[in-house]
Amino acid sequence: MAEAIHKKLQSELEKYQQMQKDVSKSMTSRQKLEAQLTENNIVKEELALLDSQNTVYKLIGPVLVKQDLDEAKATVSKRLEYINGEIQRYETLLKELERKSEQHREVLSSLQQEYQRAQAQNP
Partner 1 sequence: MASTIHDQMAAAGKVKRSKYLPQGVERLKEEHRKVVKDCRSQFEHWKKVENDYESLQERLRTLPDKLSYDIMVPFGPLAFMPGKLVHTNELTVLLGDNWFAKCSAKQADALVEHRKKHVKNTLDDLQKVMKNFQNRADFTDDLEKLTGDTGDFVDIREEVINEEEVTKAKHRLAHKANSKPKQEYLLDLEEDKEKKEGDEEGTTGVLSEEELWARLDELERQEELQDERYRLDSTDTNGEDTTSSSEEEKEADGGSDVQVNGHQKENGWVPTSITSQMNGTNGSHPEDEEEEDCDEEAGNGLPTIYFSHTAEFKKVRINTGKNTTLKFSERNEQKAQAKRKKKSGKSNGHSPHESYKITSPADIYRVFVDLVNGEPIPRKSILKSRSRENSVCSDTSESSTADFEERRAAFGRSWSHDDATHSDTSDGITEEESPTGTSPHTNGCFEAFTSTVIEKDPLPCSIPHLTIAPPALPTIPERKLEEVGPEAPQEPPKWMSKFKATRLHQK
To the nearest whole angstrom, how small is the minimum distance from the Cβ of residue 99 to partner 1? 16
Burial 66-102 (b: 16+ CB within 10 A, else e): eeebeebbebbeebbeebeebeeebeeebeebeeebe
Q: Which is nearer to partner 1, 11 or 116 (CB)?
A: 116
To the nearest whole angstrom, how small is the minimum distance from the Cβ of residue 58 to partner 1? 6
Q: Which is nearer to partner 1, 45 or 96 (CB)?
A: 45
Q: Cα 102–110–97 angle (5° rounding)?
A: 15
To the nearest whole angstrom, how small is the minimum distance from the Cβ of residue 120 to partner 1? 21
Q: Which is nearer to partner 1, 42 or 120 (CB)?
A: 42
Residues of this chain that interact with partner 1 (CB under 8 A) are 27, 30-31, 36, 39-40, 42-43, 45-47, 49-50, 54-60, 64, 67, 72, 76, 79
* Strand ranges in 25-83 using DSSP code E only, listed in sequence order: 56-60, 63-67
